[in-house]
Amino acid sequence: MDGQLLPVLLLLLGASGLWGQGPGPEGPLEEPPEEEPPEEEPPEEDGILVLSRQTLGLALREHPALLVEFYAPWCGHCKALAPEYSKAAALLAAESAKVRLAKVDGPAEPELAEEFAVTKYPTLKFFLDGNHRHPEEYTGDKDVATFLALAQDALDMSFGLTNQPQLFQKFGLTKDTVVLFKKVGQAQSQGGTHERHLPPQTSRKIFAARILNHLLLFVNQTLASHRELLAGFREAAPSFRGQVLFVVVDLGASNDHVLQYFGLKAEEAPTLRFINIETTKKYMPADRGPVTATSVAAFCHAVLGGEVKVCSRRSPPDWDQRPVKTLVGKNFEQVAFDETKNVFIKFYAPWCTHCKEMAPAWEALAEKYRDHEDIVIAELDATANELEALPVHSFPTLTYFPAGPGRKVIEYKGTRDLDTFSKLLDSGVHLLHLADDLLLEDGQHGPVLTHLLEHHAAFELVAHLLEVVSAGGRGGEGGSVRQFGGRP
């Protein structure tokens, strides 16, 4: 992946035709000169650069390593990739990595899709050192841990050659070898050759298995009181070498989207957060005591020993005063599994564009049903509140918890608008409880359900429901998880 430094080639706009309709007094008019498209700063969305013909050239020059996703808005695989891609972008920013993540809407930018031979979505291309002509296509695993491993390998490391005897003596070397110097001050020597068999299906995962536990210290390094904490933080790090990667996030360096990813506000600094980048579970100290080498080490040991619960905010005093109820990890189960209520919850991230787009419809839904005693419309910031029993992997995630005994959980996959939400609450609620009775033993629907499918206003919801129930979504003692609705 060692591309050469090449000049960035600007895309040229083709001329649409001749100026005028015929020859002038001095002969035929010449075609106008082709113009270069004006360059623009690429906008960002969830920490990801949004590229177009006008912004690609500048992005390549400004970022020595650029991983670009070519996607289509209608592509289901692209939608599934989106949360992993956003998480990786936030973590790379937190670690001040030189690698940036970007994306291109392929159908909206057909020239770029054609230029880079994009024939399917999503397609990921890696641009190194501004190499516009020969990006490398990435075909590996598409998850946070692998994206971060790719970023760590992306840039060439510094190296040198020496034959100085004093250096051989200093590092205890007696023959030609390779020595790796890590930034933490550790030296490793590897001489000779070693043979290992790595099957293709496992080698990528083996090489991507880096340190998955990260401890982040959020500070504002413009403040002397914050800078004083760095010594203790660094002092604790060597004890966890190979287990935990220690990262300092400077709030004075445009890291707002990193704060959003962790559900933090700038005024909460200095503070610690622990994250496992494979599970994306986040942990926070039980109190806001001083950040010292002792407190940092104690926090790490507690998390690694399973003694710390995942992050959860305190429930605000007015959590149930608005039409949309505000849930946190600590009051989630009490509300979601209330047997007397039908509870519809939006799990969101403050930085998520799709969450922001559907917010008005969610507020309108809550207002519409605010006087229904048996219906609760709620939301939970999943970046600041982790749920052990119900992990959230994409945003927004809409989940319906029907009233009644048992811990029934139904993931909503339908259209995100007031009308469809209302159909679920008005009709789907009752049909969910009747679904098992409306099925024949062989999984086919009987005459009662046939009538509903032909005449009921919410027939499309029932059809999706039947697919889920027929597929064996019946709950056991531990509750059931079903999908309701469907998006192509």
d(CA 99, CA 234): 24
Query: Given 269, 355, 431, 452, which residue is catalytic?
Result: 355
Between the CA of residue 397 and those of 80, 102, 386, what are the distances in Å? 12, 23, 14
d(CA 250, CA 425): 45
d(CA 263, CA 398): 19
* 355 tagged catalytic: yes
d(CA 19, CA 31): 7
Query: Given 60, 72, 78, 101, which residue is catalytic?
Result: 78
* 300 tagged catalytic: no
* 311 tagged catalytic: no
Q: Are 283 and 308 in contact (CB under 8 A)?
A: yes
Q: Are 138 and 95 in contact (CB under 8 A)?
A: no
18: its two tokens: 């001749």
Residue 257 neighbours by CB under 8 Å, 6+ apart? 44, 46, 47, 89, 90, 93, 351
* 352 tagged catalytic: yes
Q: Are 65 and 131 in contact (CB under 8 A)?
A: no
Q: Are 243 and 215 in contact (CB under 8 A)?
A: no
Q: What's the chain's Rg over C-alpha atoms?
A: 28
Q: What strand order describes the sheet that includes 213-219?
A: 244-250, 213-219, 271-276, 282-283
Query: Given 145, 352, 387, 432, which residue is catalytic?
Result: 352
Query: Given 8, 11, 58, 75, which residue is catalytic?
Result: 75
Give the residue among 36, 57, 37, 55 at the shortest CA–CA distance from 45: 55
Q: Which residues are catalytic?
A: 75, 78, 352, 355
